[in-house]
């Protein structure tokens, strides 16, 4: 394991001068529990890289996650980490961020966690615009519970609860977030780790709620069941199913088309919820409200 | 400076919480508890606190736990249907030992039930609402003044013991308006959880201390610890090692057992020579008190035992009361089909005959009803 870490560190030395992931993960929690080939680890790496680039104080960093393979990631981050309940990390994070505006709050969630059981919290978090970043890992499946269908499972795919193939349409998480009023929305694939890091950097520095969908891959369960090949093959085919948003102007397809846009898909300014609340309360006190 | 004013039970909960240092409230409107949220929305900004109306009760409970994990005292309020929705995140607070207060103003059930009518149908749900073995504290005020003082006590107990505390009102106590002088109610000094201090290196967020209440790390203080609803050992990280798992779950109940004396509270009336003892909480206890007065006037030796701490139930105190008074009959009036009576029967098995008096029609139990029952069981 130590050798592997060493290798990773030396690979980084070439690409990103001073980022050493060992400074951001809890080495005593290694080896991690993700399956070989799982994209979640790449996403976590990109997140930690962004955190490093931004020079965030780990003591002031709060990572809040839900339940799922994605939810397990918080335990690996050397920060204040909160592994909450299924679908609810955004609710916990809302309380935390409001109570402690001095913290950098980052939520890690899965497609089932945030689009199925936690869908209500996601749309209201987008609407409120409280300062936090939500990174959703979309692996098209419920990984943790053994491969059941999720709101993002592609049409026709086999899962343990769609033995004849999935007949439900998929959610476009980014379109949902943008529609619910999120002031920063972006998507990236794990293959483009540098682009993903850049996107996460922009998301974290955004004033308000930022939503980033990371196309992850579940090789062991979903890939195997659908003959999608090895992890590199899955990651490659994911990449070819995407095209950078910069090449087009609108997110106008309601359900997932053959290609999906990546990059920053929506960005605009709106009052940050916590600041707006505190300002309104202060104004009311000034008026001597009874 | 005295401040006699007309105050409602629900509002008293809000003011008590603020008095005890609560600075965060997340809630979702529901009859008959909405006034707690409304009072918090009005009052919290005046003391630099934060109010938020969330998208539902699940989110409210999550936000409250999140705020408390951030080091801020936090409360929510709800009623039946909302209390059901809060249960999973309430269990998280039990397991991760996050201090918080939940006001539950009982209305008729099951389901949407009778939203504006009183009930005491959640007595067992407050104890066992969330899944799995867990311990919890439930306080049951019977007046507006007590709604204030017991909410203060709820905040304090949740802080010192790192446990969720439910303030259980019935609709009548919640909406009751009484004249109270809040300044005359002793609030005591502000109480805080023990925050972690000392070396960051090797810090264990769930270390076993003498008082069984581990000091809580506050984000920003440099401990960078992990909090999870998975069964966890002293390190805070998940464990399935049988010995560690057992110890972790056992400590949660041992913790409350160890501090039982500080948690338990009850009131009695005319118990010394009581031949019939009435055991009741909330507005039903007020009716029972009136019944005791009426019965005594008629020469019937009746007494009242009122648990203020409903859970953990004041077991020894009830047994002693029955033993010392020599009461041969006990009546448990409650606005449900018989919930608290199960605990009383368990505790008094073989010591006194226990009688039920129930009402589930959305009406309160009247003093005359209790008095009649007392005469009947003594006959
Ligand atoms: C209330 C509740 N319902 C169901 C579960 C079981 N459960 C655990 S993880 C999970 C799905 C996770 O899927 P996703 O969010 O897509 O994350 P992934 O594991 O794929 O990363 C489910 C249904 C649970 N823990 N809690």
> Which residues on chain A are in Cβ contact (under 8 Å) with B223?
80
Number of folded domains in chain B? 2
Q: In chain B, which residue's Cα lies nearest the Cα of A281?
A: B45
Enter the DSSP assignment of A269.
-
Inter-chain touch A84–B71, beta carbons under 8 Å: no
Q: In chain A, which residue's Cα lies nearest the Cα of B224?
A: A80
Last-in-domain residue among B184, B203, B222: B184
Number of neighbours of residue B197 by Cβ within 10 angstroms: 11
Tell me what the pLDDT averaged over chain B comes to: 97
> Which residues on chain A are in Cβ contact (under 8 Å) with B222?
59
**A214-262: pLDDT as tens digits:** 999 999 999 999 999 999 999 999 988 887 775 554 555 444 456 788 9
Quote the tokens at residue B353. Answer: 């005959």
Q: Could you tell me how many residues make up chain B? A: 379
**B219-243: pLDDT as tens digits:** 999 999 999 999 999 999 999 999 9
Q: Which residue has the higher pLDDT, B121 or A261?
A: B121
Question: CB of B2 within 8 A of CB of B184?
Answer: yes
Say if B314 falls within a structural domain. yes
d(CA B182, CA B235): 43
Say if B204 falls within a structural domain. no
d(CA B105, CA B193): 26
Residues above pLDDT 70, as percent of chain A:
89
What does CATH list as the number for A2-289?
3.40.50.970
CATH number at residue B130: 3.40.50.970
Say if B151 falls within a structural domain. yes
Residue A130 Cα, gap to closest chain B Cα (Å): 12
Q: Where are the domains of chain A?
A: 2-289
- DSSP line for B337-371: SSSHHHHHHHHHTTTSEEEEEE--SSSPPPHHHHH
In the predicted structure, residue B2 carries a pLDDT above the cut 80: no
Tell me what the pLDDT averaged over chain A comes to: 91
Q: Is A65 in the pocket of ligand 1 (CB under 6 A)?
A: no
Side-chain-facing half-sphere of A276: CA atoms under 13 Å = 12
pLDDT of A249: 46
pLDDT of A258: 60
Residue A91 Cα, gap to closest chain B Cα (Å): 5
Atom of ligand 1 nearest to the CA of A71: 21
> Which residues on chain A are in Cβ contact (under 8 Å) with B226?
26, 74-75, 81-83
Last-in-domain residue among B134, B167, B184: B184
CATH number at residue B354: 3.40.50.920
Chain B residues interacting with chain A (CB cutoff of 8 angstroms): 23-24, 26, 45-46, 50, 52, 54-56, 58-72, 74, 88-89, 92, 217, 219-230, 237-238
Quote the tokens at residue A130. Answer: 């409280």
Question: CB of A58 within 8 A of CB of B224?
Answer: yes
Say if B164 falls within a structural domain. yes
Where do we find the tokens 């929506």? A266
B178 and B54 both lie in a single domain: yes
**B15-45: pLDDT as tens digits:** 999 999 999 999 999 999 999 999 999 999 9
Q: What confidence category does residue B361 fall into, taking pLDDT thresholds of 50, 70 and 90?
A: very high
Last-in-domain residue among B154, B184, B214: B184
B250 C-alpha vs ligand 1 centroid, how far in Å?
A: 27
**B83-92: pLDDT as tens digits:** 999 999 999 9
d(CA B98, CA B135): 13
What residues make up the domain containing B77?
4-184
Q: Could you tell me how many residues make up chain A? A: 290
User: Residue whose CA is closest, atom 22 of ligand 1?
Assistant: A145
Question: CB of B151 within 8 A of CB of B180?
Answer: no
In the predicted structure, residue A8 carries a pLDDT above the cut 90: no
d(CA B361, CA B341): 18
B169 and B275 both lie in a single domain: no
Q: In chain A, which residue's Cα lies nearest the Cα of B49?
A: A99
Inter-chain touch A78–B224, beta carbons under 8 Å: yes
A144 C-alpha vs ligand 1 centroid, how far in Å?
A: 6
B180 and B306 both lie in a single domain: no
Where do we find the tokens 């529609």? A179
Residue B32: asked if its preceding bond is cis (omega within 30°), the reply is: yes
A99 C-alpha vs ligand 1 centroid, how far in Å?
A: 27
């Amino acid at each position: 394991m130590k050798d592997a870490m060493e290798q990773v560190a030396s690979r980084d030395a070439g690409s990103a001068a001073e980022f050493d992931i060992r400074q951001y993960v809890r080495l005593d929690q290694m080896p991690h529990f993700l399956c070989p080939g799982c994209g979640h680890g790449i996403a976590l790496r990109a997140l930690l890289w962004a955190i490093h680039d931004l020079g965030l104080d780990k003591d002031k960093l709060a990572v809040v996650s839900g339940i799922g393979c994605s939810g397990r990631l918080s335990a690996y981050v050397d920060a204040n980490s909160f592994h909450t309940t299924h679908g609810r990390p955004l609710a916990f994070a809302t309380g935390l961020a409001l109570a402690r505006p001095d913290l950098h709050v980052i939520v890690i969630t899965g497609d089932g966690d945030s689009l199925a059981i936690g869908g209500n919290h996601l749309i209201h978090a987008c609407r409120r615009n409280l300062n936090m970043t939500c990174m959703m890992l979309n692996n098209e499946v419920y990984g943790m519970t053994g491969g059941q269908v999720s709101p993002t499972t592609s049409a026709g795919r086999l899962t343990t609860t769609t033995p004849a193939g999935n007949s439900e349409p998929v959610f476009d998480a980014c379109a949902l977030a943008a529609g619910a009023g999120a002031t920063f929305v972006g998507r990236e694939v794990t293959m483009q780790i540098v682009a993903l890091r850049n996107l996460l950097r922009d998301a974290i520095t955004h004033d308000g709620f930022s939503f980033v969908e990371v196309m992850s891959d579940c090789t062991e369960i979903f890939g195997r069941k659908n003959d999608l090949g090895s992890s590199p093959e899955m990651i490659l085919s994911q990449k070819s199913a995407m095209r950078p948003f910069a090449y087009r102007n609108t997110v106008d397809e309601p359900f997932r088309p053959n290609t999906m846009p990546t990059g920053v898909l929506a960005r605009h300014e709106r009052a940050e919820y916590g600041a707006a609340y505190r300002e309104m309360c202060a104004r009311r006190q000034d008026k001597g409200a009874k | 400076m005295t401040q006699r004013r007309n105050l409602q039970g629900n509002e008293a909960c809000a003011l008590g919480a603020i008095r005890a240092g609560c600075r965060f409230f997340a809630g979702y409107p529901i009859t008959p508890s909405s006034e707690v949220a409304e009072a918090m929305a009005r009052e919290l900004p005046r003391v630099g606190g934060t109010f938020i109306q969330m998208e539902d009760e699940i989110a409210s409970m999550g936000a409250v736990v999140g705020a408390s994990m951030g080091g801020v005292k936090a409360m929510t309020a709800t009623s039946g249907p909302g209390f059901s929705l809060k249960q999973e995140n309430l269990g998280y607070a039990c397991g991760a030992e996050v201090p918080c207060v939940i006001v539950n103003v009982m209305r008729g059930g099951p389901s949407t039930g009778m939203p504006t009518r009183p009930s005491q149908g959640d007595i067992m749900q407050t104890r066992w609402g969330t899944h799995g073995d867990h311990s919890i504290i439930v306080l049951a005020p019977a007046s507006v003044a007590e709604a204030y003082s017991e909410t203060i006590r709820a905040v304090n107990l949740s802080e010192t013991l790192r446990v969720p505390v439910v303030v259980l009102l019935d609709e009548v106590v919640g909406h009751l308006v009484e004249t109270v002088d809040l300044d005359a109610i002793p609030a005591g000094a502000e109480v805080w959880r023990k925050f972690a201090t000392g070396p960051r290196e090797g810090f264990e967020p769930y270390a076993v201390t003498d008082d069984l209440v581990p000091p809580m790390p506050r984000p920003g203080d440099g401990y960078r610890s992990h909090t999870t609803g998975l069964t966890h050992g002293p390190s805070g990280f998940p464990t399935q090692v049988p010995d560690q798992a057992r110890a972790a779950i056992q400590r949660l109940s041992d913790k409350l057992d160890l501090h039982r004396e500080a948690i338990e509270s009850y009131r009695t009336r005319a118990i010394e020579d009581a031949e019939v003892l009435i055991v009741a909480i909330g507005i039903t206890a007020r009716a029972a008190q009136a019944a005791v007065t009426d019965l005594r006037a008629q020469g019937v030796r009746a007494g009242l035992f009122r648990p203020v701490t409903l859970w953990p139930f004041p077991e020894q105190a009830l047994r002693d009361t029955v033993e010392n008074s020599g009461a041969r009959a006990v009546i448990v009036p409650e606005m449900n089909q018989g919930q608290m009576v199960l605990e009383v029967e368990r505790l008094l098995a073989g010591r006194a005959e226990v009688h039920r008096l129930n009402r589930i029609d959305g009406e309160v139990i009247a003093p005359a009803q209790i008095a009649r029952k007392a005469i009947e069981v003594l006959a």
